[in-house]
Structure 1
Amino acid sequence: MEKKWWKESVVYQIYPKSFKDSNGDGVGDIRGIIQKLDYLKELGVNVLWISPMLESPQDDNGYDISDYRRIYEEYGTMEDYEELLCEAHKRSIRILMDLVVNHTSDEHNWFIESRKSKDNPYRDYYIWKDPVNGKEHNNWGGVFGGSAWEYDPQTQMYYLHLFSKKQPDLNWENEKVRQEVYDMMKFWCEKGIDGFRMDVISMISKDQRFPDGEMNNGLYGDFGPYSVHGPRVHEFLQEMNHEVLSKYDIMTVGETAGVTIEEAQKYAGEDRNELNMVFQFEHVESGCGDYGKWTTQKYDFKEFKNIMIKWQEKLQGKAWNSLFLGNHDQPRSVSRFGNDNPVYRETSAKMLATCIHMMQGTPYVYQGEELGMTNAYFDKLEDYRDIESINYFEEFTESGLMTPEHMMKCLMLRSRDNARTPMQWDDSKQAGFTDGEPWIKVNQNYKKINAAQQLEDPDSIFHYYQKLISLRKEKDIIVYGEFEPLYREDEQIFAYTRKGDQEKLLTVCNFSDKNAEVEVPEEFKGAECLITNLGRKEFDGKIILNPYEAFVLYYKYQVTEK
């Protein structure tokens, strides 16, 4: 297997609005990130993926960009960004930029021009359609609720927005649009960035027939079959690779919701000249209900485990995995896949980290995950800031699909705002995130869960992550070893081996709050314990695992000379 720096990296995702505020305005900023680079260096991560920091009206927290070459004013200046790059590179930390090119903001100059008239030179930069029988061109619904089409009275046509109506979709069929995107990417590569995380990149190619979709929740049709992994998506990415990506030593990861194994092998195949890896979401989408993610159902462990195993086995030797449980769009991983009850929070957070970091692929740590930060569980709608949460609350309650009480419970468990509350730095006011009033409330548990306290405690979740990350740097087998699952059918245990030329690794994790029995394979008798979250010393034969217990064993073969 070919060795690459991005395979050996651990990526830390920063949501800049909530990471660290340096000037007291209640919003995180670039200078705040610079102040915390030593913390990230101490943790051991070597790549930062920073959610969008470009000029934006912030309708969707920066995923609606109005100028691709300017830094968002509340975050700082281009000089601040250049200093961040320089200071990160001094600490051997690379920086990934969030590339949002499926859509722009409706306040982007291209769109302002586009909507002026039907013959404007920028008209074809976006997707405009005439009304059909006085209505939208088709029945597609948007990701954030409502129709995916918005009527524009000025030219009496509809434009497509798969997300918010303030996020019109770019028309990738137009060669000029693609060239604009590639030129902008080169601009940032020349500044010295180290790669791109590509937002909803699987949606850039649309079926040009724009047919109706299957009805979803009885309200709108599903655009997925016609806009996700569309007819020309691989052609566009190969062109992007040829024009930009192949010219720089950078890392690329594509956000590809709904991706199949076969599609992932196309996006990230070693010989495909597209991307280095993709984010697949099958494991975080398991356990969805009749209304998608809006459910109070707990995830099904066995289904989750089978999905994780499938992606490990099927991409092995063909494409590279990205490993994550949380990000800015998901609830907190310890609240969802572990147990955030104070009795089990630390143990289960360490167990989840063990399971993910010992697999084959590049691990991603979402800010605060290394502290075991939990869901905020806001119980009032006015505490939410997320456009998706607010829109769906209104849509589902007004249409009678859910009662307000039930929808609030869904938000408490599944809203994206659970991951967007401010980073908990210490136990001072506002968790040390800001001297002002934060843009979104701080999680109330910050006095018990914060970085300052964990840096002092050698047994903290932070130090456990630090050890996992350093093990990865020490042992090639953790990066490149062959994956093989054990206990496939077990209802509590996730276990697997990794195999190198002359070494082997065993990872065992109990995903439940009950004891679980496991038999350590004979070949691991007397093996070295690399890491364990409960301090166990004996690992021979049958073991009764405690709730959420995890350990990793390692041994090297003795090669005898003939």
Structure 2
Amino acid sequence: MPKLSSIRLILYAFLLFSYRGAVAQGTVNRPDTSERKWWKEAIVYQIYPRSFKDSNGDGVGDLKGIISELDYIKSLGVTAVWLNPIYGSPNDDNGYDVSDYRGIMKEFGTMADFDTMLKGMHKRGIKLVMDLVVNHSSDEHEWFKQSRSSRDNPYREYYHWWNAENGKPPYRYSLFDINHDAWRYDSLTNAYYLHYFSRKQPDLNWENPKLRQEVYNIMKFWADKGIDGFRLDAFQFAAKDTTWPGFPKGFEQNFTKYYAIQGNLHGYLQEMNREVLSKYPIMSVAEGAGNTLEDAHNLVDADRHELNMAYPFDGVDIPKSDGYSLARFKEVFTQWDEAFAQKGWVSVFLSNHDQARMVSRFGNDKPAFRVPSAKMLATFVMTMRGTPYWYNGDELGMTNAGFKTIEDYRDVSALNEYQHVKNMSGDVEAYLKELSFSSRDNGRTPFQWNDKKNAGFTTGTPWLDVNQNYKTINAAAQEKDPNSCLNYFRRLTKLRKDNPVLVYGKYTLLDKDNPQVYAYTREWQGKRMLVLLNFSDKEAQTSVALSGNPKLLLNNYQDELKTKGIAMLLKPYQALVFDVVQ
């Protein structure tokens, strides 16, 4: 009988051999990516509360409206909700200008409504992620009122001030200001305050430890109420490079280079993790991921003790610079996957409240192609590695609104930029045409519940006009249609939840140079899935051969599959998902 140490040696050699074989097959990842976490497996549904459902007829969505549709949200198969800001706010930027971090905006309801909503979500197995807006506050917040009251006020250092007797401060760019000037003069103390966004959104001074503790206490307040996570809005800009005297002319085209991941940002996040995040069973996600892949890793790698996942914008920014090139699309998403294959975690998304509608940007919103392209894009989001974030209404294939005049818009950035173009004697018509396609208000039109007045969103006058196609694109009609975008989305969420290979599996790009087709496999623990997506309005051929006896799991068309020899022929915007038997 062999000695115990010999048995251990034999067992160790066997395990090592098995592990190496698994690595060679791509079925084993390092612990950082393969360790199962609820937030990695989550399917996050973003709700823009102002536009979701109005319960009292004032034209503004509210918490009771969300409560009334919790069963709908549950039916989608999502497992978490990211809720845009509901805090007290004068609404210069639709709640992203917070005047009371522990209160509920009156238009949205009461804290009792919030507690009921949170309880209802948890009862249905849905977690709640709150927006944390602490790069800036509202100028109507009590902190700022105190800060601007006198130079020696204790709250003065909660914000960034520049005394006017030192001359005008060096130029900094503001995204939302009419003049794009981030310094606003305030006559009360003869000084300028800094605002990277609207002039009613003064930037908080994170260099001040008292301010940081205020924020951590706010986070603890909501975590103690039982929420499940925070999304840190614009936080990559929170630390300011105070040594930089100014910015070169034209830097606005790449303002993140000068604004993102500056100063001691990582130190603040590590402190936040020690003070709050590590003490609660909550997730954390940063809006934005800095300027480089290294920046992103520094935000989310587990050994950094900062945040759980990054929310990179490279994918949704493609249309701005690359003309919807599928080659560039593949390159961006492949690059991010490869960079985080072994360590760290990212999100996957194609739309949110700051983007125009997904199907109008990346798909085709013409009647003949809207449904298949919306389904195809949904297939992409739900079959990629990373945590998927889904924006409310995209499951219906909601489209851009087609607004024509500036009076149609409510977004502060659109209104101020229009005025800027006008003041500079620019091409107003060209700007309106651009807005019609890319404005944030395209994604903020009221949710289309049915074909009744105002799409069933409100009995009053909606705060933003309802898209006129609500008669044909609405949830009630799609509930009855087994082949609708809505019901296809439900099949997708079930497929993802039933197959953890789609969460953790190795991603391999196939048919890289195909100008129409995005093809890839996902592999994990002996399971392999193949995804074929036609991103064009023409029939497409892929060189990917279906070997063995693949099982078709999902098809966004009801027709039989077409082949040409051993090649697969894909209909316009067709999406196919196969279980490939190994």
TM superposition score normalised by structure 1: 0.94
1:331 touches 1:415 (CA, 8 Å); kept in 2? yes
Instruction: Specify which of 253, 257, 263 is matched with residue 231 of structure 1.
Output: 263
- The alpha carbon displacement at 1:393 in A equals 1.3
* Equivalent position to 2:280, from 248, 259, 268: 248
Q: Identify unmatched segments of 5+ residues in structure 2.
A: 1-33
1:18–1:28 contact (8 Å) kept in structure 2: yes
Q: Secondary structure at the match of 1:442?
A: coil
1:556 CA displacement = 4.0
Which of 182, 205, 209 is matched with 2:239 structurally? 205
Offset, 1:251: 1.4
> What displacement does 1:231 show?
2.2
**1:300 counterpart = 2:325:** yes
**Amino acid of the structure 1 residue aligned with 2:245:** P
- Counterpart CA distance in 1 for 2:291 and 2:348 is 15
Listed one character per residue, the Cα deviations across residues 276-321 of structure 1 (whole Å, up to 9, x for unaligned) are 11111112112426xxxxxxx8422221221111111111111112
Does residue 139 of structure 1 match 2:171?
Answer: yes
Aligned-partner residue type, residue 196 of structure 2: L
Mapped pair 1:103 → 2:136:
yes
Find the counterpart in structure 1 of residue 519 from structure 2.
495
In structure 1, what is the Cα distance between the partners aligned to 2:257 and 2:292? Answer: 13
Contact 1:268 1:274 in 2 (8 A): yes
Could you report, residue by residue, the CA deviation over 1:356-409 in whole angstroms, capped at 9, with x for unpaired residues?
Answer: 110101111101000000000100110100011111111123213x41111110
Are the aligned partners of 1:206 and 1:226 in contact in 2 as well (CA < 8 Å)?
no
Residue in 1 that maps onto 2:146: 113
Measured in 1, the distance between the counterparts of 2:546 and 2:557 equals 22
Matching residue within 522, 527, 541 for 2:550: 527
Quote the offset at 1:476 in angstroms: 1.3
2:468 equivalent in structure 1: 444
Evaluate the alpha carbon distance shift between residue 467 and residue 221 of structure 1 in structure 2; reply closer, same or farther with a 3 A threshold: closer
User: SS where residue 74 of structure 1 aligns?
Assistant: coil
User: Tell me, what secondary structure is at the counterpart of 1:129?
Assistant: strand
* Equivalent residue number for residue 475 of structure 1: 499
Partner residue of 1:12 out of 45, 48, 62? 45
Asked if 1 retains the 8 angstrom alpha-carbon contact of 2:549 and 2:581, the reply is: no
CA distance in 2, matches of 1:302, 1:176: 48
What is the rounded CA distance, in whole Å, between the counterparts of 1:365 and 1:287 in structure 2?
A: 19
Instruction: Tell me what 2:349 maps to.
Output: 324
- CA separation of 1:221 and 1:121: change in aligned 2, threshold 3 A: farther
Q: Distance in 1 between matches of 2:557 and 2:543?
A: 18
Of 91-100 and 312-321, deviating more is 312-321
Separation (CA, whole Å) in 2 of partners of 1:339 and 1:254? 30
Contact 1:241 1:274 in 2 (8 A): yes
CA contact (8 A) 1:322 1:361 kept: yes
Contact 2:510 2:544 in 1 (8 A): no
Whether 2:110 is the aligned partner of 1:87: answer: no
Q: Paired residue for 2:459?
A: 435
1:126–1:533 distance in 2 versus 1, CA, 3 Å: same
Distance 1:250 1:39 in 2: 24
CA deviation after TM superposition for structure 1 residue 536, in Å: 4.7
> Partners of 2:404 and 2:165 in 1: how far apart?
42
Give 1:537 deviation, angstroms: 4.1
The 1:178–1:133 alpha-carbon spacing in structure 2 relative to 1, beyond 3 Å, is closer
Q: Secondary structure at the match of 2:150?
A: coil
Q: Distance in 2 between matches of 1:222 and 1:493?
A: 31
Write the distance in 1 (CA, Å) between the matches of 2:576 and 2:546: 16
Q: CA deviation at 1:555?
A: 2.8
**2: CA distance between counterparts of 1:406 and 1:132?**
41
Q: 1:223 to 1:486 in 2, by over 3 A?
A: closer
Once residues 165 and 449 of structure 2 are traced to their aligned partners in structure 1, the CA distance between those partners, rounded to angstroms, is: 54
| Aligned amino acid, residue 117 of structure 1 | S
Question: What secondary structure, in the 3-state scheme, does the structure 1 residue paired with 2:377 have?
Answer: helix
Matched, 1:518 2:542: yes
Q: Which residue of 2 aligns with 1:456?
A: 480
Offset from partner CA, 1:63-118 (integer Å, 9 cap, x none): 00001000001100000000000011000011110000000000000000000111
Q: Distance in 2 between matches of 1:222 and 1:520?
A: 38
Give the Cα separation in 2 of the matches to 1:517 and 1:435: 49
Bigger shift: 488-497 or 435-444?
488-497
Whole-angstrom distance in 1 between the partners of 2:43 and 2:540: 30
Q: Per the alignment, in what secondary structure is the counterpart of residue 303 of structure 2? A: coil
Aligned equivalents of 1:94 and 1:273: distance in 2?
22
**Equivalent pair of 1:353/1:465 in contact (CA under 8 Å):** yes
- Measured after TM superposition, the shift of residue 225 of structure 1 is 3.7
Q: Secondary structure at the match of 1:483?
A: strand
Mean alpha-carbon deviation: is it higher for 385-394 or for 432-441?
385-394
The answer on 1:60 being equivalent to 2:93 is: yes
The Cα of 1:130 is off from its aligned counterpart by 2.2
Q: Is the 8 A contact 1:85 1:95 kept in 2?
A: yes
Match of 2:442 among 418, 423, 426: 418
State how many pairs are aligned: 545
Contact 1:254 1:279 survives alignment (8 Å): yes
Q: Which runs of 5+ in 1 are unaligned?
A: 290-296, 558-562
Counterpart for residue 315 of structure 1 = 340
Structural mapping, 1:281-430, within 5 Å = 281-288=313-320, 298-400=323-425, 402-430=426-454
Question: TM-score w.r.t. structure 2 length?
Answer: 0.91
CA RMSD of aligned residues (A): 1.5
> Residue 34 of structure 1: which of 61, 67, 75 is its match?
67
Q: Helix, strand or coil: the match of 2:227?
A: coil
Q: Say whether the 8 Å CA contact 2:132–2:232 is kept in structure 1.
A: yes
State whether structure 2 residue 545 is matched by structure 1 residue 546: no
Residue 309 of structure 2 is matched in structure 1 by 277
Indicate if the aligned counterparts of 1:313 and 1:484 stay in contact, CA closer than 8 A: no
SS in 2 for 1:375: coil
Q: 1:560 — aligned with what?
A: none
CA separation in 2, counterparts of 1:191 and 1:76? 17
2:81 match: 48
| TM superposition shift of 1:474 | 0.7
Aligned to 2:208: 174
Separation (CA, whole Å) in 1 of partners of 2:330 and 2:164: 46
Instruction: Name the structure 1 match of 2:20.
Output: none
Q: Distance in 2 between matches of 1:164 and 1:216?
A: 20
Cα distance 1:77–1:533, how it changes in 2: closer, same or farther (>3 A)? Answer: same
| Aligned counterpart, 1:292 | none
Compare 487-496 and 61-70 and name the one that shifted more.
Answer: 487-496
Higher normalized helix content (fraction of residues): 2
Matched-pair contact (CA < 8 Å) for 1:359–1:478: yes
